[in-house]
């Protein structure tokens, strides 16, 4: 035993005068008394323990006073001893697996995890929901906060990245109270299809920082049939959907499937799936709106029993193509796009631009356009219209009123070049510009934010925001073999589809049908409708299956994860299966002063009681 | 030492109370019982079982019928005074050294003096573990002899009240006045048994105590010696213990008083600080 304040032991010297006082106390008077009979009777009426005390010590008051002073002195010296023992952590970070598989079984694995987590709540508790992105539900909260948080949290429909959650918990523990506090991390999960390598690595990192990591496993093997994959593809004006339905059970199952459009049943099917196999289920001729594919059977996990499909209703986009040529390749590519109405107009007389969504200026000469045409185009773009200017011999000689995103050089055109990609954009993804053979191009001033560049620094593809609209410059022209062979390549119509979709703000169908776990930056706080209710956020995490409403846009989210749908559990050790708190083993300073103070108070109280019992108070 | 100066006070006292107590003492008292005696009060016809010695043969000679003589019972009443001489009676806290025994002996001699003045028989017997029985006699000379005996008496031992009264009651032949003077510091059951045994007599019970003994005017750590048993007890006399002690004492004497009321005896309790005259006055006044 050691003392934090050993100087206080000098207070024990105060015992000496007490002992001396009692030593010099006069001897008891010797008195003859006619009979002791009544004295003894009176003594019998006194407290039995007091009588016993009297037998043990001659003067219990002296003993009490000595003990009082000794204990007080010891308490002041703050004694402690070091003990290696199991203690609760100062700060416990509880990681709850909130993946889709935790929704399985009845009672649910997540409910079991939540109940187990309550037992691990310590003085300070942090709660992290391990999804594919970590969600901090509580940071360094008190006992009541922790229990309240545990009542509120719900599992998601994503995968779980437990390894990253451990790293986050480690940093949260290390960040508190100068790293002095004792921390522990408790991971409560079904550990079904998790990345054990990443978890072990994270655990080792935490252990190296002196933080104990405890695994607690919930759940048992469970049967499931679920939709593990889904894909929506456009076929002309229609969409096709096909999905994979997997049977994780040990016997063949025939399950009914219902298809619902905007909530109404439109189709009923039955599918037979052999044990541990998958069957493909396809839907054709899907129309805009919401379509659900529901597996009508009962199993341990419901989140993968329904696929949600959304097809946005897109209005036809009207495009004005201005060109001296009657049917240039660019016009053909644009005209072939779905939901698009493209008309070619030969200058100089042009229709009202306001009737179109996009205006494309193709092959023109210096005198093709009437004066003021670009002024009208500037107004059109400023009010939200989009403009594409394609390279042609005449364009460098026309005043474009600052609409052209690139500066033309006076030297005119240049010969063959190799193309280099600049900044990536949505509309240039998957386009192989490197393979395009360029034999002639217009020379432009070098541009920092150019999307595709020629060897000489000329920009081949660039855009700029102008008012509420966008102006795109394409150095590839409207499709002339004397300039390049882009218009002959397979990705040429793709390029134009992506440009038109980008300009008209239409996303690809995959942007409307996403897998859970994806985040969606909203650029500012806004109200969002989720499958479980409305929330307000600036960065949306799709962690639930169903339909989300972001403004006027509907987005369908699905689990589509064969690993999460697999509810088989590898049973871990008995220790991990025991959902009781394991305590952190550590060498701790056991302080005794508080106990001593309690004893001091007890003796003070007892001395008062004793004096009162003797009738001296 | 027995102070006999107070006898003069008793002279004045006895004159003052004689009229009031004229029927108390045996010599002046009419016996209501008929039995053995000298004066014939009448005759009645013989019934089988009567003592044939009481048959008046002269009446038989005249009447040829058996008649027996009826006598008036002896009118004199003997006074038996039982005085506690156990070691506890040797206690004194007064400045003049008067012990409880001195005080009790003065009371006993006072009763003896009053009885001797009436020329009645009296006996002062002392008791502790055994009883020293003295036969009842008349006269002042006997009183003086008794005073000398008491002055020379060595106090010792404990009190075996039941045993001693059992021994003494055997020598009381007719209803007598019995005066018991003691500190009664012994077992209450023993006292009760003794008192019941003497109950057929006219009984006066006098408890004598020392004021210091009752108040227990000591405090703190003490080593107490029991005067009768020589037992030693170390203890701390706290106010509460003192209060409990008094309670026990009151319960004890309350028990004796209750027994006396039950058997029709007179009970008095005198501290040694009370003058003998006052003690006699209270005793006589109550009767």
In the predicted model, is pLDDT for residue B72 greater than 70? no
In the predicted model, is pLDDT for residue B121 greater than 80? yes
pLDDT, tens digit, for every residue of B149-192? 998 999 998 999 999 999 898 888 777 889 999 999 999 999 99
Q: Cβ contact (<8 Å) for B218 and A29?
A: yes
In the predicted model, is pLDDT for residue A492 greater than 80? yes
Q: Cβ contact (<8 Å) for A31 and B213?
A: no
* pLDDT value of position B262: 92
- Phi first, then psi, for residue B100 (nearest 5°) are -60, -35
Whole-angstrom distance, CA of residue A51 vs CA of residue A40: 11
Q: How far is A598 from chain B (nearest CA, A)?
A: 29
pLDDT, tens digit, for every residue of B254-282? 999 999 999 989 999 999 999 888 898 88
A415 and A327, same structural domain?
Answer: yes
Nearest CB neighbour to B91, from listed A25, A32, A58: A32
The CATH number of residue A188's host domain is 3.40.50.410
* pLDDT value of position A211: 87
* pLDDT value of position A84: 63
Q: pLDDT grade, residue B25 (50/70/90)?
A: very low
Nearest CB neighbour to A42, from listed B89, B183, B244: B244
The residue of chain A nearest to residue B159, with distances taken between CA atoms, is A35
A65 and A139, same structural domain?
Answer: no
Structure tokens at B174: 């007719």
Q: Is residue A256 part of a domain?
A: yes
Q: Cβ contact (<8 Å) for B224 and A36?
A: yes
Peptide bond before A337: cis, by omega within 30 degrees of 0?
Answer: no
Residue of B100, B119, B157 lying closest to B274 (CA atoms): B100
Q: How far is B85 from chain A (nearest CA, A)?
A: 12
The residue of chain B nearest to residue A36, with distances taken between CA atoms, is B226
Residue of A449, A430, A435, A558 lying closest to A501 (CA atoms): A430
The residue of chain A nearest to residue B244, with distances taken between CA atoms, is A42
Q: Is residue A508 part of a domain?
A: no
In the predicted model, is pLDDT for residue A586 greater than 60? no
* pLDDT value of position B16: 35
Mean pLDDT computed over A396-403: 86
- What A232-236 contacts at long range (C-beta under 8 Å, 24+ apart), as own/partner pairs, is A232/A286, A232/A309, A232/A311, A232/A509, A232/A510, A232/A513, A233/A509, A234/A338, A234/A509, A235/A284, A236/A338
User: Which residue has tokens 């003998």?
Assistant: B276
- Mutation target vs B (from A41, A42, A46, A57; most B CBs, 10 A cutoff): A42
Strands A238-247 and A278-286, how do they pair? antiparallel
pLDDT, tens digit, for every residue of B234-250? 888 888 888 888 999 99
pLDDT, tens digit, for every residue of B147-156? 999 989 999 9
- Phi first, then psi, for residue B121 (nearest 5°) are -80, 145
Q: Where are the alpha helices (DSSP H) in A294-358?
A: 329-335
Q: pLDDT grade, residue A236 (50/70/90)?
A: low
A343 and A452, same structural domain?
Answer: yes
The CATH number of residue A392's host domain is 3.40.50.880
Q: pLDDT grade, residue A317 (50/70/90)?
A: confident
In the predicted model, is pLDDT for residue A587 greater than 80? no
Q: pLDDT grade, residue A202 (50/70/90)?
A: very high
* pLDDT value of position A173: 87
Q: Cβ contact (<8 Å) for B218 and A59?
A: no
* pLDDT value of position B183: 92
- Per-window interface: B 78-107 vs A, CB < 8 A: 88-89, 91, 100
In the predicted model, is pLDDT for residue A439 greater than 90? yes
In the predicted model, is pLDDT for residue B42 greater than 80? no
* pLDDT value of position B26: 37
A429 and A329, same structural domain?
Answer: yes
Whole-angstrom distance, CA of residue B109 vs CA of residue B236: 40
A148 and A27, same structural domain?
Answer: no
Chain B residues with CB-CB distance to A54 below 8 A: 235-236
Q: Which fold has domain B6-26+76-286?
A: Rossmann fold (3.40.50)
Mean pLDDT computed over A441-463: 91
Q: Cβ contact (<8 Å) for B183 and A34?
A: yes
Task: Return the minimum-mean-pLDDT range out of A178-187, A261-270, A509-518, B32-41.
Answer: B32-41
Mean pLDDT computed over B129-134: 91
Q: How far is B106 from chain A (nearest CA, A)?
A: 20
- Mutation target vs A (from B85, B158, B244; most A CBs, 10 A cutoff): B244
Of residues A246 and B28, the one with the higher pLDDT is A246
* pLDDT value of position A583: 55
Mean residue pLDDT across chain A = 86
Strand partners, A465: A470
Nearest CB neighbour to A41, from listed B210, B240, B248: B248
In the predicted model, is pLDDT for residue A251 greater than 70? yes
- Mutation target vs A (from B221, B251, B253, B271; most A CBs, 10 A cutoff): B221
Q: How far is B248 from chain A (nearest CA, A)?
A: 6
Any idea where the domains of chain B sit in the sequence?
Answer: 6-26+76-286, 31-72
Q: Cβ contact (<8 Å) for A33 and B227?
A: yes
Angle in degrees, CA B168, B171, B176, rounded to 5: 90
Inter-residue contact A275 to A251 (CB < 8 Å): yes
Chain A residues with CB-CB distance to B182 below 8 A: none
Inter-residue contact A155 to A98 (CB < 8 Å): yes
Whole-angstrom distance, CA of residue B114 vs CA of residue A257: 132
Q: Is residue A587 part of a domain?
A: no
Inter-residue contact A257 to A268 (CB < 8 Å): yes
* pLDDT value of position A321: 94
Taking CA atoms, A264 is separated from A241, A258, A267, A284, A361, in Å, by: 18, 10, 9, 17, 46
Chain B residues with CB-CB distance to A58 below 8 A: 234
Nearest CB neighbour to B231, from listed A36, A43, A615: A36
Q: Cβ contact (<8 Å) for B227 and A37?
A: no
pLDDT, tens digit, for every residue of A596-609? 889 889 988 988 88
A491 and A450, same structural domain?
Answer: yes
A64 and A166, same structural domain?
Answer: no
- Per-window interface: A 58-97 vs B, CB < 8 A: 58-59
Of residues A47 and A504, the one with the higher pLDDT is A504
In the predicted model, is pLDDT for residue B21 greater than 50? no
Total domains, chain A: 5
A257 and A195, same structural domain?
Answer: no
Q: How far is B239 from chain A (nearest CA, A)?
A: 5
A238 and A163, same structural domain?
Answer: no
Structure tokens at B205: 């019970």
A159 and A44, same structural domain?
Answer: no
Inter-residue contact B120 to B138 (CB < 8 Å): yes
Nearest CB neighbour to A30, from listed B183, B223, B247: B223
Q: Cβ contact (<8 Å) for B223 and A37?
A: no
Range of the domain at A58: 2-81+592-613
Q: Cβ contact (<8 Å) for A42 and B241?
A: yes
Q: Is residue A66 part of a domain?
A: yes
Whole-angstrom distance, CA of residue A538 vs CA of residue A526: 6
In the predicted model, is pLDDT for residue B33 greater than 70? no
> ipTM of this model?
0.73
In the predicted model, is pLDDT for residue A82 greater than 80? no
B202 contact A CB<8A = no
Q: Cβ contact (<8 Å) for B223 and A40?
A: no
């Amino acid at each position: 035993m050691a003392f934090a304040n050993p100087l206080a032991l000098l207070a024990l010297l105060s015992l000496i005068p007490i002992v001396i006082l009692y030593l010099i106390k006069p001897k008891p008077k010797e008195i003859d008394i006619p009979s002791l009979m009544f004295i003894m009777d009176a003594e019998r009426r006194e407290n039995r323990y007091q009588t016993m005390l009297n037998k043990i010590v001659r003067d219990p008051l002296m003993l009490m006073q000595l003990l009082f002073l000794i204990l007080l002195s010891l308490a002041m010296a703050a004694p402690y001893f070091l003990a290696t023992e199991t203690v609760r952590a100062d700060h416990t970070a509880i990681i709850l697996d909130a993946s889709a598989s935790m929704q399985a079984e009845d009672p649910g694995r997540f409910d079991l995890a939540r109940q187990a987590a309550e037992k691990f709540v310590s003085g300070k508790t942090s709660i992290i929901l391990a999804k594919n992105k970590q969600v901090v539900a509580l940071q360094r909260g008190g006992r009541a906060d922790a229990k309240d948080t545990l009542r509120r949290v719900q599992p998601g429909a994503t995968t779980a990245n437990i390894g990253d959650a451990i790293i986050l918990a480690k940093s949260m523990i290390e960040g508190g109270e100068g790293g002095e506090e004792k921390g522990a991390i408790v991971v409560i999960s079904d550990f079904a299809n998790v990345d054990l390598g990443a978890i072990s690595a994270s655990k080792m990192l935490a252990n190296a920082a002196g933080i104990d990591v405890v695994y607690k496993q919930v759940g048992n093997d469970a049967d499931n049939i679920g939709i593990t994959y889904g894909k929506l593809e456009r076929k002309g004006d229609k969409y096709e959907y096909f999905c994979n339905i997997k049977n994780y059970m040990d016997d063949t199952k025939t399950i009914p499937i219902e298809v619902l459009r905007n909530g109404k049943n439109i189709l009923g099917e039955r599918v037979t799936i052999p044990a541990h196999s998958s069957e493909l289920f396809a839907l054709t001729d899907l129309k805009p709106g919401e379509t659900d594919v529901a597996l009508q059977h009962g199993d341990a996990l419901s989140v993968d029993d329904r696929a949600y499909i959304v097809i946005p209703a897109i209005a036809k986009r009207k495009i004005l193509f201005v060109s001296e040529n009657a049917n240039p390749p660019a016009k053909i590519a644009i005209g072939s796009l779905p939901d698009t109405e493209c008309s070619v107009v030969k200058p100089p007389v042009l229709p009202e631009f306001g009737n179109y969504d996009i205006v494309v200026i193709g092959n023109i000469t210096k005198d093709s356009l009437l004066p003021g045409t670009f002024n009208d185009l500037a107004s059109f773009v400023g009010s939200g219209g989009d403009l594409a200017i394609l390279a042609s011999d005449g364009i460098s000689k026309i005043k474009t009123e600052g609409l052209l995103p690139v500066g033309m050089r006076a030297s005119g055109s240049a010969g063959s070049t190799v193309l280099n990609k600049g900044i990536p954009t949505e509309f240039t993804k998957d386009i192989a510009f490197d393979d395009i053979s360029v034999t002639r191009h217009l020379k432009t001033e070098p541009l920092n934010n150019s999307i595709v560049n020629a060897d000489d620094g000329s920009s081949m593809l660039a855009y700029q925001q102008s008012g509420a609209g966008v102006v795109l410059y394409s150095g590839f022209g409207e499709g002339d073999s004397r300039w390049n062979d882009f218009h002959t390549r397979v990705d040429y119509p793709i390029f134009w589809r992506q440009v038109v979709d980008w300009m008209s703000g239409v996303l690809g169908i995959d942007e409307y049908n996403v897998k859970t776990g994806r985040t969606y930056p909203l650029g500012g706080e806004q109200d969002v409708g989720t499958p479980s209710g409305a929330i307000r956020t600036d960065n949306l995490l799709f962690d639930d299956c169903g339909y989300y409403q972001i403004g006027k846009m509907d987005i369908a989210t699905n689990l589509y994860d064969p690993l999460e749908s697999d509810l088989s559990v590898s049973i871990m050790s008995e220790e991990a299966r025991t959902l009781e708190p394991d305590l952190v083993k550590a060498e701790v300073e056991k302080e005794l002063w508080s106990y001593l103070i309690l004893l001091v108070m007890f003796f003070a109280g007892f001395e008062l009681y004793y004096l009162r019992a003797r009738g001296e108070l | 030492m027995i102070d006999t100066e107070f006898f003069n006070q008793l002279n004045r006292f006895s004159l003052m109370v004689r009229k009031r107590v004229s029927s108390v003492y045996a010599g002046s008292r009419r016996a209501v019982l008929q039995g053995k005696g000298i004066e014939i009060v009448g005759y009645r016809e013989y019934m089988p079982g009567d003592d044939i010695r009481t048959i008046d043969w002269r009446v038989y000679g005249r009447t040829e019928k058996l008649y027996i003589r009826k006598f008036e019972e002896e009118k004199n009443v003997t006074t038996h005074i039982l005085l506690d001489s156990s070691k506890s009676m040797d206690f004194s806290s007064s400045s003049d050294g008067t012990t409880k025994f001195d005080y009790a002996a003065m009371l006993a001699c006072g009763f003896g003096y009053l009885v001797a003045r009436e020329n009645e028989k009296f006996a002062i017997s002392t008791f502790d573990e055994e009883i020293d029985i003295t036969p009842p006699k008349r006269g002042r000379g006997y009183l003086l002899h008794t005073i000398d005996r008491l002055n020379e008496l060595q106090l010792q031992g404990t009190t075996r009240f039941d045993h001693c009264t059992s021994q003494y009651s055997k020598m009381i032949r007719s209803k007598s006045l019995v005066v018991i003077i003691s500190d009664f510091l012994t077992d209450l059951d023993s006292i009760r048994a003794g008192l019941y045994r003497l109950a057929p007599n006219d009984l006066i019970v006098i408890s004598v105590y020392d004021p210091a003994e009752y108040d227990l005017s000591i405090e703190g750590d003490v080593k107490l010696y029991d005067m009768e048993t020589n037992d030693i007890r170390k203890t701390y006399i706290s106010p509460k213990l003192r209060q409990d002690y008094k309670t026990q004492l009151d319960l004890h004497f309350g028990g004796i008083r209750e027994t006396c009321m039950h058997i029709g005896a007179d009970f008095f309790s005198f501290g040694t600080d009370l003058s003998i005259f006052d003690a006699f006055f209270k005793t006589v006044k109550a009767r």
